[in-house]
Amino acid sequence: MDQIITAGPSKVLLNPRDRVQIIGANLSQLDHDLCLMVDVLNVSNVEATNFVFSVKFYDEFSKALFDGTVFTFSAEDSLAKPHQVCYFEPFILDERFHTARQLEIGIQSVVFSDKTGSVYQPLEQDLYQLPMISLERLQEMKDFIAPDCMTYGENLKTAWRCVCGATNLRAEFECSNCHRNKYYVLNNLTQDLIDQKIAASLNPRPEEDGLAPEEAPETPSPGPSTIQLMEKIRGQTLNSLNEGSKMDILVLALVLLLSLLLIFLGYQQFKTTDIYKNHQLSQADRLIEKDDFTGAREIYLGLSKNPPEDLASRQEKLNDLMESKVHYEMGLASLDLKDPFISLNHFTKVLPEDESRYGKAHEEIALLEGAIVDQAQAYLEENRVDEALDLLHRLLNVLPNSAEGLNLLDRIIKSDQISKSQRRRLNEIKIKEKEEEKNKQPLTSEDKKRAELSDKALELLHTFQVVKEEEANLRKSPSLDAPILASIPKNSDVYVYETVIEKTSRIWCHVEVETPQGDMVQGWLSSHTLEGPMPK
């Protein structure tokens, strides 16, 4: 007989936005083999396959085995259909794992039928604990609650779990998989409430069956059918509606309409809060990191009616990145043209902030620069000096600091190949370049200080920091005049989502931190109050 030997609840790495989510994981003894059992829910509208799981194993005392080594398990032939649970074939474990009793598991990668692949990053995911539910209780939940019931409804730290197994964003009011209402699930289908409903159904009171206590049968009567119980849970049945008067139906419809209106108005009011705005901005930042500029722009447009303080600067940065991407793509598209300067001009306009393309653009620039200098050298060998000079001048107009171009130009000036008129022309260009260099203003101390702050702000971005002051003021906006949201004690861990430079005096960090009261809040801390985490 199959035996589940998991000693403690399994922990799962996932992001509520993931299109496939692990809803079950345990260790089982099957035919003398220790096996890893995994169940996955596909919350998307497309099929998913080629799953790769990453797993850490722990003993019964929660001590990591193998020094915390992450093991991968592949299921290439698996197929998870849309909005269905996929039960994977057991992964057989060898003798090394005989002391394993707990798991920490996540999906490392998966391929979807819409030709997209997802590689999940642990830093973008949170660790959630799966409820431990016996097979008998799970069958009772399916019989008495709903056939798709896989777990208990639960309000998590940063999300909420539906009974179908899907983990949803806290701001979502409807399950992404089964479309159950969030408040219905959390107010009716938590562990305590489900246990009460099942217990009441399996052990009805004699009075409810129309019998006096002394007339009750000695053996418990069977509970109501699944349909009857669901009708009771949901508060009304089709028959009760048919039996009700028209006035009752009208009142019910008005109450439902009013409830929907209140939910809509509440959601509209919620969209004006800082919590919603910060959540949307964080989501836009993640989309920008994934190169989804269009999705980030849609979020910014949605915030334009009630904009946060830095929305204008964010939109400007996004527009710059979008323009940088266009220049990179146009540079690639024009590589096959006869004129290399078209591509060169586009590649030089790719911004350093465009991290995914900046390095590639400069690789292309180096190749084009070398090809142009080689062509100029070929013209010189054919004694076509004017054409070589024109080519070098065009190169230096785009890349003024081209070492190869400048070296070749100096060799031409010092050689006997050029005529007096060509030499005069080169001298005029040299004089003009010196005048332009002379007119360039040196950096002031203020500019240098701002450059240093910019580098520091970039280092702080998307890092964990520790509060080093006895009390650090968490403010509503990046200003010393902004209201204080909370006082953060020394040694508190914070995560930096965004940085803003205030003149040349300080860097403000938009962070998320847990208050002494246990609430997760977001706000602004001065970088003067932070330092990097101590190495473990």
* 164 vs 276, residue with greater confidence: 164
Rounded to 10 degrees, the C-alpha dihedral 192/196/199/205 comes to: 160
SS3 472: strand
Q: Where are the alpha helices (DSSP H) in 461-509?
A: none
Which amino acid appears at position 393 of this protein?
Answer: H
- Tens digits of residue pLDDT in 450-494: 778 888 888 888 889 999 999 999 999 988 889 999 999 999 999
Mean pLDDT on 64-93: 93
SS3 126: strand
Domain covering 1-130 assigned CATH 3.40.50 in the classification: no
Cα atoms in the 13 Å half-sphere on the side-chain side of 370: 6
Nearest CA to 523 out of 315, 283, 272, 309 is that of 309
| Burial class, 372, CB count within 10 angstroms (exposed 0-12 / middle 13-18 / buried 19+) | buried
pLDDT band at residue 197 under the 50/70/90 scheme? confident
Please compute Rg for the chain using Cα positions: 33
Mean pLDDT on 497-513: 87
Q: Domain 445-531: give its CATH code.
A: 2.30.30.40
Mean pLDDT on 353-364: 89
Region of 106 on the Ramachandran plot (φ > 0 left; ψ -120 to 50 alpha; else beta):
beta
Q: What angle do CA 162, 166, 172 make, to 5 degrees?
A: 70
The owner of tokens 């939109």 is 315
Cβ within 8 Å of residue 460, ≥6 positions away: 496, 499, 507, 509, 527, 530
* Strand extents, DSSP E, 123-231: 126-129, 154-155, 159-161, 167-169
